[in-house]
Amino acid sequence: MDNTNRRVKRGWMNLRVVDVIEETHDTKTFVMVDADEGGRPWDYWAGQYLTFRFDDVADKPIVRSYTMSSSPNQGETCAFTVKRVEKGLISNWLCDNVKVGSILRARGPIGRFIYEAGKDLSHLVMVAAGSGVTPFVSIMREYAKKIGEPNSPKKMTLLVSYRSRKDLILEEDLKALSQTHGCQVFITLSRDNEAPPEFWQGRISAEMISKSISGNYKDCTFMSCGPTAIMDLTGKVARDGGVPETQIKTESFES
Ligand SMILES: Cc1cc2nc3c(=O)[nH]c(=O)nc-3n(C[C@H](O)[C@H](O)[C@H](O)COP(=O)(O)OP(=O)(O)OC[C@H]3O[C@@H](n4cnc5c(N)ncnc54)[C@H](O)[C@@H]3O)c2cc1C
């Protein structure tokens, strides 16, 4: 992780929302630029997150983190994708109130849940559920066009689970990525028995993870993001397949 020449902004930034994309019935993507300087006068690594501060939602400031679902190569905007959590304060507030022109306060980027060139192995295996897909869409967007080049993975596999087809977040992006050389995307649906055969069926299992990489654990770095059960399962499957502990990374969305 080379931080030389990276553009940084210290402290809380004001970010202006320039687009709101309705992804599904309960998920929206917010596209932003820096409200003070325009564009994006700071750099990030795909997989990093921003910490947002909300001063007017409750009687005290509330802080929440959101991973950027955009990738650094997407020009002067950045985006994050929020799924409503049942009775959740901020996820619902964002989806109900934030419009084009809204200003959000955030600091960052933060986090090491990224592809680390020179440290990570050549096959990046990503396992996610629901909104846990956001760091992986960012990572895949970033590396899909440079696959096999120096400082990039040679292969990327994403296995992601959703309840049903109506919960598919960032579906068009995943479709496009799955058609890119060196990238595979497997989507499994836990409650949608009538889905067409391109979808796998059921919750993520050990067999499914192994099938997604054709049982070949050599040169794999595993990353997982989602409920604890999925991160634990992915870690166990990787360990049982002989993947060293240093090549198993997790990110929890629960604070
Ligand atoms: C590093 C990091 C990155 C994140 N990136 C994203 C992202 O890209 N997109 C996204 O949608 N969320 C992301 N999150 C989760 C996000 O920060 C909030 O926790 C989430 O939006 C819920 O906040 P809330 O205020 O709506 O819920 P709260 O009011 O805090 O919680 C309401 C209830 O929901 C439960 N709950 C809280 N969070 C979750 C959750 N994630 N899943 C299920 N139940 C939960 C709580 O235990 C509580 O019972 C990330 C979290 C972290 C730590």
pLDDT tens for residues 185-242? 999 999 998 999 999 999 999 999 999 999 999 999 999 998 999 999 999 999 999 9
Task: State the pLDDT confidence band at 81, using cuts at 50, 70 and 90.
Answer: very high
Quick check: 167 and 24 in contact, CB under 8 A? Answer: yes
Domain of 84: which CATH number? 2.40.30.10
The answer to whether residue 117 sits within a structural domain is: no
Residue nearest to atom 52 of ligand 1 (CA): 253
Percent of the chain with pLDDT over 70: 98
The answer to whether residue 213 sits within a structural domain is: yes
pLDDT tens for residues 85-134? 999 999 999 999 999 999 999 999 999 999 999 999 999 999 999 999 99
Statement to judge: residues 154 and 34 lie in one domain: no
What is the model's pLDDT at position 4? 73
**CA 64 to centroid of ligand 1, rounded, Å:** 8
Using DSSP, how many helices (H) and how many strands (E) does the chain show? 5, 12
Q: What's the rounded mean pLDDT across residues 25-46? A: 96
Nearest Cα to Cα of residue 249 among 120, 80, 118? 120
Statement to judge: residues 86 and 44 lie in one domain: yes
Task: State the pLDDT confidence band at 62, using cuts at 50, 70 and 90.
Answer: very high
DSSP state of 82: E
The answer to whether residue 46 sits within a structural domain is: yes
For 52, the token pair is 């947002």
What's the predicted TM-score (pTM) here? Answer: 0.95
Collapsing DSSP states into helix, strand and coil, what is residue 138? helix
Quick check: 77 and 40 in contact, CB under 8 A? Answer: yes
The answer to whether residue 76 sits within a structural domain is: yes
**CA 89 to centroid of ligand 1, rounded, Å:** 9
CA distance 106 to 32: 11
Domain of 145: which CATH number? 3.40.50.80
The answer to whether residue 193 sits within a structural domain is: yes
Statement to judge: residues 139 and 237 lie in one domain: yes
Question: Can you give the residue range of the structural domain that contains 150?
Answer: 123-251
What is the model's pLDDT at position 254? 84
Whether the CB of 52 sits within 6 Å of ligand 1:
no
The answer to whether residue 4 sits within a structural domain is: no
The answer to whether residue 103 sits within a structural domain is: yes
Task: State the pLDDT confidence band at 2, using cuts at 50, 70 and 90.
Answer: low
Residue nearest to atom 10 of ligand 1 (CA): 82
Statement to judge: residues 148 and 226 lie in one domain: yes
What is the model's pLDDT at position 5? 83
Counting from 1 in the atom list of ligand 1, the atom nearest the Cα of 134 is 8
Q: What's the rounded mean pLDDT across residues 21-28? A: 96
Structural domain total, the chain: 2
Of the three residues 63, 86, 110, the one that is the final residue of a domain is 110
Statement to judge: residues 225 and 140 lie in one domain: yes
Of the three residues 89, 110, 131, the one that is the final residue of a domain is 110
Statement to judge: residues 57 and 175 lie in one domain: no
Residue 1 has pLDDT above 80, yes or no: no
Statement to judge: residues 215 and 127 lie in one domain: yes
What are the distances in angstroms from CA 152 to CA 28, 41, 68, 148? Answer: 29, 24, 19, 6
Whether the CB of 250 sits within 6 Å of ligand 1:
no
The answer to whether residue 8 sits within a structural domain is: no
